[in-house]
Structure 1
Amino acid sequence: MTENQNESLLPLSSLHLPEVPSWFPLAWGWWACFFAVVAAVFIVYFIVRWKIKRLAPKKTALKMLANTKEPSSAIELLRQAALCYYPREDMAALTGKPWYVFLDRQIGKTLFERNQERWQQALYTREPVEQAHELVEDCIYWVENALPPRKGGARRG
């Protein structure tokens, strides 16, 4: 009986499991994620590079103004920094009161127009100017708050 029972069992082979699925080729969703990440990295890189390049004249002007004690040198650095951001045609025509009005309009304060006489004395005479450090600090304030210019006009400081 035991022999008969063993004969009645079908000769089955052992179980064969399927192969483990491989990672490659990737499904289209993984490729889409990969390209989205690469595109995001490139976009961030170019935005950061653009911003660094755009702020370079401002940073250079601030470094140079930090080492300047003469108002005449400070206002010249201010003009050079402004030329990096504003159209040369507009900037070249500005001297005297229109120049100071332009500077004040960009920051929304009257730092330059109210000190116009002191600025003129600093630029055109060899005599030392009273409180020259305040004039240089006004230039530093202007560069910090007016550059780079925003679209749509003057800023409020």
Structure 2
Amino acid sequence: MLSYEAIQAFVFQEARALDERRWNDWLSFYADDVEFWMPSWDDDDTLTDDPHSQVSLIYYANKQGLEDRVFRIETDRSSATIPDTRHCHLITNLEVLAQDETSAKVRFNWATHSFRYDILDTYFGYSEYTIDTSGEKPLIKKKYVVLKNDYIHHVLDIYHI
């Protein structure tokens, strides 16, 4: 089992790879069969609960979707990233919700500051990760992200959360 400090370092390192735009390093934190999901809020102010039949803000069923997103970012085929967006993740209140010999489920709060078009935006919410700890290095198997301020002024992308 990973120590709390090792789990914390893993989460911090993933965020830093994203902030530093080290896209391939960031992708290396994810298992091939990762589910990456950010549900949306419905009209009753509750989160959608099925990415296959309801609207999601972001949903990738596996790592291939993340790789495609990174490819578009790196090759300037993404209007959401032109001009470049500067961003910084702040992570707090990391909790290990469950852990056994092969996995850990963690939850943490986050805030991301983003600068584009001379405008500073702040996004905030919480994330829950299921981390596979059975291999030589930990891998994220499930990333569930709740964006608390879902009224956004710009296009939302993977680096905002």
Same fold (TM over 0.5): no
More helix per residue: 1
Higher relative contact order (CA 8 A, sep 6+): 1
TM-score by length of 2: 0.31
Q: TM-score, normalised by structure 1?
A: 0.32
**Is the strand fraction higher in 1 or 2?**
2
Query: Which protein shows a greater Rg?
Result: 1
